[in-house]
């Protein structure tokens, strides 16, 4: 979408054969704090937060995201 290839989430979803709701949720992950992504991807820290939960944390501040995921 950033490249301008698709104008809406619906267009992106249809082009990839996915549900619009699923694509919308996945796009939210792009707004997770870099620290959260780094710690989840490369760290050895356990977190009880699911991928589904992470989609809804994206609207919070980066500081609050890290606090909710790792504390």
pTM for the predicted model, two decimal places: 0.68
Measured CA to CA, the distance from residue 47 to residue 71 in angstroms comes to 9
Q: Residue 51: its pLDDT value, please?
A: 85
DSSP3 helix / strand / coil % (the chain, rounded to 5): 65, 0, 35
Asked if residue 16 lies in contact with residue 1, where contact means CB atoms within 8 angstroms, the answer is no
Find the radius of gyration of the CA atoms of the chain: 14
pLDDT per residue rounded down to tens, the chain (71 residues)? 778 899 999 999 999 999 999 999 899 998 999 999 998 888 776 677 888 889 889 889 999 999 988 88
């Amino acid at each position: 979408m950033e490249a301008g290839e698709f104008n809406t989430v619906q267009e992106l979803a249809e082009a990839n054969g996915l549900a619009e709701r699923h694509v919308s949720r996945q796009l939210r992950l792009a707004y997770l704090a870099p620290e959260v992504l780094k710690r989840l991807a490369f760290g050895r820290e356990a977190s009880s937060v699911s991928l589904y939960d992470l989609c809804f944390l994206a609207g919070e501040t980066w500081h609050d995201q890290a606090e909710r995921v790792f504390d």
